[in-house]
Each structure stands twice: as C-alpha cells, then as structure tokens.
Structure 1
Amino acid sequence: LMLGMLPHVILTVVTLGPILTGMATPTEAAAVGVLGTVVMAALYRTLSWARLKSAAILTAQQSSMMLFLAVASNIFGAVFTRLGSATLMTDTLVGLPLPPLGTVLVVMLLIFLLGWPFEWPAIVLVFVPLLQPAIIALKFDQLWFATLVAVNLQTAFLSPPVAMAAYYLKAVAPDWELTDIYWGMAEFMVLQGAGLLLLLCFPEIALWFPHWLYGP
C-alpha cells in the first residue's frame, strides 16, 4: 500500500513544494505536475497518443471556460463598480446593525445559498469580489476569509436540495439512489459545518501555517 502511494506523494510534493517555497508560480508548478503525471503514466505503461490528445483537448476546453469566466467577471465587476453598486453593497453590509462577526455570518450565508445553483468558478470570480470589500472594510484577514469561502462552498455542494456533489457521485455510481447518497453525505455536512464554525471562532486554525511559512 505504501509503495503504491509513493508515486502520488512524490507528485504532490513536486507540484506543491515549489509553490510553498516560492520557487515557482502556481502556473509553473502546474506545468511540473503535468510533466510528472506524463512520466508516471509512461512508467505505468498506460500512456498513449489517444489519451494524451484527449487530455490536451479537455485541458484546452477547461482553460477556455475559466479564462472566459475571468474576462466576463472583470467586465461585470467594472460595470458594477462604475454604477456605484459595489459601494452601495459594501455600505449596506458594513451598516448592518450587527457586530463585525455577524456581518461575516451574513456574507457566509449568501455564499452558501449561491453554492446551490452556481459552480464555484462563477462564485469565486463574480460574486466574492463584490462581497470582499465589506470584509476589507471590517478589517478581517483576507486569507481567513478565503478559507471560510472554500469550506463554505464545500458545505454548499453537499447540501440539499441541489447538492451538486451528489450528482457527481451519481454519475460515478449510477446504481446508487440519490436518497442513499444524500443520507451518506449528511455526516460530512455536519463535519463541514463544525469545521466552518471552528474557523469562524478561531481564525488561527486557518492562519497558523501560512504565518509559519511566510510570517504574519
């Protein structure tokens, strides 16, 4: 078992190591990861031109989608800001008769609800930049906020009535009933919710490792 895991551990270290040490950007590290994956596929004798071509086409499609979303979200954000809507949203959130942490809870609730109908790229690229100025105005740590968003979206993707993760699993295991999948995910939802509350109450859970690596 350990020998079977070793190549994957090496690939993870080779990909994430340069990012954490500052030796490479995420894009450069991703290229190293791709090279490592190709080498692993060759060693396992599962590499073929057909699979390489299929992977290249899928990569181009996914990259095009992400770049299109990035361009569209920048245009939307610029128009939204120019019309003064971003300032209005920030002033509304900051002006709520709530303590600062209560405002963060409101923002988290909005992101959670958006996680039902939308995929994470749309939320991260379009909606989070509209909510982030309020968090900045309240003097909260941005890295902490980003971690909250990530955990929150994971929880939303597990939550009925939509629960996108359930449909992903249904596609992998078509013989399973959706009701069984929902019940199986319930315990993970509880764990995700508990983790989110811990992050809200104890920000250092999310911050200690980055601070240890790069300083406060």
Structure 2
Amino acid sequence: MEWMAVVLFLVICFVLLFGYPVALTLAGTSLIFAGIGVWSGSFDPSYLNALPSRFYGILTNQTLMAVPLFIFMGIVLEKSKVAEALLVSMAQLFGRFKSGMAVSVVLVGMLLAASTGIVGATVVTMGLLSLPAMLKRGYSPSFASGAICATGTLGQIIPPSIALVLLGDVLSSAYQKAQLSMGIFSPDSVSVGDLFVGAIVPGMLLVGMYLIYVLAMSFLSKTAMPTAEDMNSETTLAIKKLLTSLLPPLILIFIVLGSILGGFATPTEAAGVGAMGALVLALAQQKMSVSRLREVMLETTKITSMVFLILIGASIFSLVFRGFGGEELVHGFLSDLPGGIFAAMVLVMLVVFILGFILDFIEITFVVVPIIAPVLLTMGVDPIWLGIMLAVNLQTSFLTPPFGFALFYLRGVAPANVATGDIYRGVIPFIFIQIMLLIALAIWPTLVTALPDWLYG
C-alpha cells in the first residue's frame, strides 16, 4: 500500500509537467489510483466518505474567506495605477542619485507587496512600468531584470500575503492533528495573524538586504547602472508628489495590518476593510468605473475559483494518499532520519525548494505541507517559524532558473532586447540573498518568533 502512495505523488508531479490543470490533475489522478486500489484490494473506499464534509468545510472556512477579499483589494490597487504613481514620484525624488531608480523599484515593490500580496501582478506591473525606464537610463538588462523579479516576489512574505493566509489555514489543521497525535487536547492553534506578525521582521530584513546589495553595486560596478540619473524635477515638487501618491496606500496598509496586529479584527475582517478601502481609494482618485469594476470582479472570481478548486483537488489527493498509508510512511521516514529535527528540516526545505520549480505555491501549500507539517510539528518544530521558513523557501524557488514563475512573468512583458539569459543572470545574486536569510532564520529562530511572543505571549 505504501509504495502506491509514493507512485501516486510522483505520477501527479509528472502529469503536471505536461501543463494539465492542477486541480483536475490532483483529483483525477487520485481517483484513478483509488479505483486501482479498490480493485486490487489495497485501498479502503470508506476513506472517500469524508469528501462531502471536507468540501463543505472548505467552502465555509472563515479563514479562507479572506482570500477573495485580499485578491479583490490587490487587483483594485493594481487597476487604479497606484504602482505607477508611486514609481514615478519616487524616481523623481531619488533619480538624481546613482542607483536611485533601483532603490525606487525596491521600495515600490515592498509597498506593492504589502498592498496587493499577489506575486504575478506585482512582477508584471513593475516589469511594464520600470523595466523600459531603467533600460533607457542605462541600467544593464540583467541587473534591472533581477531587481524587478526579486522585489516582485516580496508579496510572498510581506503581509498581508495570500501565501501566508493559505499557509496559516493549513498549518492550523496540521498543528491540531499533531497535538491530537501526542494525546494533547488543547484549543490553541496557529492563526493567520500569527504568521503575519512572524513575517514582519524577516520581510523587512529581506528588503534591507536588497537595498544594501543595490547600493553596493552602485559603488562596485561600473556597468550595472548609470553614474547619475537626472529626472529634471525639483526636490520640493517631487516630495509633494511622493506624499500624495504614498499616503493613501500607506494608510490602507496601516489600517489592515494594524487592526490585525492590535487584535481589533481577524484577518478575514481586516481583508473586508482592505477591500472596501481600496475601492474607496480608487473612487476618490477617479480611477474606477463600472467597466473597470466589472473587470476587477471577474478577475477576482477567476483567481478565487482557481484557489478553491485546487484545494478541493488537494483534499481528494490527501484522502487517497492517507488511504494508501502515505502519511505513516512520511512520518516514519522523517522521524527515523539520522540527525533528528535538523536533518528532517533540511530535507523538507530541499524538497519544497525543488518542487517550487514545477509547482505553484498554492499546490505545494495544499498538497505537500499537509503531509510534512504534522510530522515536523510532532517533532517539536515551532509552527510559526515553520510557516515563515516555508514561505521564504517558496519565494526563493519563484526566482530560481530555469522554472521560476517570476522569471516567466517578467519574460512575458519584457522588451525583445532583454534576453532570457539576462533575466536568469540577474536573479542569481538575489537568490543568494534569500538563501542567506533562510540560514539566518534557521540559526536565529527568534527573528520570527520574538515579535509574536511579545505581542501575544
């Protein structure tokens, strides 16, 4: 039975390489294996009796209700040209300095990550707006591409992140399962708010490391960027434009995150406030019409439907995988590794990193994390630290050639004179920066856990 679970996982990964829809691949392949198992007597069909209750639980999950609201908020801000106004005003302020445009890209990417939380939208938006401008001002194609891809993936770790919302829901179930397996009956769980708080310090550290690298390149490299950038703008005027474009999204971010961190609202309630706030902001700036609102709602519905359909497919997979004894196999394998928790974490991080080449973070969150998380939590791993490590790891795999999703997003909107090789070369330094952050979080877990402990005890 157990080898069938391994074959099932490998077959699903193989089928996904052909480009078939993820949700249908998960559900269809799992049901085919279940049928083979019933026919051969190696699978108990009663496992599938839990599917109706699981489907109902997914569609009524209070935490997952934050997903469409945060997606709506991000798309509204994207369509209302917030990124364009921020980038132009910051470039005018910092443009007279060497590396000024690159610094602006990193800062705007950070703000977009905190306001949209959608990696693909951020990379595409930054690629359309800033890449042609950076090339025109003399930045090398590789450096400009790397900076845009790296800052675009900040939406993976900086809250309010869709990835953290999904990870929080999965880790909460895994934590309760791990507690029950150890005979502990406790109402404690892992919330999305815990992950949001735990991600703040690592997210800011990563932005700081990006800025240090950009500034270092301005002194060390003569070819990566121009010697100076004259934007022909008065400083006072540039500051006024920056404040005008910066304050509204900052206020919105403060309301959303502040209400969560202060304990005034759940992530789902804060997401509702953020969605309404983004809509009011777009209307106030006269950037929203009936046709544009319809476009936003359609795109939100498509992305949300994709997420929930994948989750339903992953639920079918997890039941069939458990029916073949896959969970016991994984638990035994990780528990018996020489080196204990350290070896298990290294192996899990390596597997997640490799799977990030071929699977999106949604599939990994719904398919892989429910398998490995209960085992690691039973071994004593802190759930908040595990969630942030997984998020940073997945963010790194977004950048890694040749299959990094951020690279594909930028390739789709980059000018023809930017070669794919330039994009690949440009992200390599940023990959090393993210690996350095992962190592730092592994050595000093308090970088993740100190703030949640201080706020919530």
TM-score normalised by L of structure 1: 0.95
Tell me the residue number matched to 1:151: 392
| 1:203 aligned onto 2:450 | no
Q: Which moved more, 1:115-124 or 1:166-175?
A: 166-175
Deviation at 1:113, TM superposition (A): 0.5
| 1:182 aligned onto 2:424 | yes
| 1:20 aligned onto 2:243 | no
Which of these residues, 138, 145, 154, is aligned with residue 379 of structure 2? 138
> CA offsets, 1:71-99, max 9 Å, x none?
22122212222332101111111111223
How far apart, in 2, do the equivalents of 1:126 and 1:204 lie? 28
Tell me the residue number matched to 2:276: 35
How far apart, in 1, do the equivalents of 2:261 and 2:442 lie? 25
| 1:85 aligned onto 2:316 | no
How far apart, in 2, do the equivalents of 1:83 and 1:174 lie? 49
Q: Which moved more, 1:37-46 or 1:174-183?
A: 174-183
Which of these residues, 308, 311, 330, is aligned with residue 67 of structure 1? 308
Which of these residues, 362, 375, 379, is aligned with residue 121 of structure 1? 362
CA contact (8 A) 2:402 2:424 kept: no
Identical positions, percent: 37
Deviation at 1:105, TM superposition (A): 0.4
How far apart, in 1, do the equivalents of 2:263 and 2:313 lie? 30
How far apart, in 2, do the equivalents of 1:144 and 1:79 lie? 29
Q: Which moved more, 1:176-185 or 1:86-95?
A: 176-185
| 1:166 aligned onto 2:422 | no
CA contact (8 A) 1:93 1:103 kept: yes
How far apart, in 2, do the equivalents of 1:17 and 1:181 lie? 36
Deviation at 1:66, TM superposition (A): 1.0
Deviation at 1:131, TM superposition (A): 0.9
TM-score normalised by L of structure 2: 0.46
Which of these residues, 103, 114, 122, is aligned with residue 344 of structure 2? 103
Find the residue that maps to 1:210 and give its secondary structure: helix
How far apart, in 1, do the equivalents of 2:391 and 2:424 lie? 21
Instruction: Quote the RMSD (CA, aligned, Å).
Output: 1.3
How far apart, in 2, do the equivalents of 1:119 and 1:206 lie? 24
| Structure 1 unaligned regions, length at least 5 | none
Find the residue that maps to 1:12 and give its secondary structure: helix
Deviation at 1:174, TM superposition (A): 3.4
Tell which has more relative contact order, 1 or 2 (C-alpha 8 A, sep 6+): 2
> CA offsets, 1:178-202, max 9 Å, x none?
1111121111111100000111111
- 4+ aligned runs moved over 4 Å, structure 1: none
How far apart, in 2, do the equivalents of 1:50 and 1:192 lie? 40
Tell me the residue number matched to 2:116: none
Find the residue that maps to 1:186 and give its secondary structure: helix
How far apart, in 1, do the equivalents of 2:452 and 2:336 lie? 31
How far apart, in 2, do the equivalents of 1:151 and 1:18 lie? 24
Q: Which moved more, 1:188-197 or 1:93-102?
A: 93-102
How far apart, in 1, do the equivalents of 2:371 and 2:389 lie? 16
- Structure number with larger C-alpha Rg: 2
How far apart, in 1, do the equivalents of 2:380 and 2:277 lie? 41
Change (3 A) 1:150 1:68: same
> CA offsets, 1:21-73, max 9 Å, x none?
23222222212111111111111111100110000011111111111112221
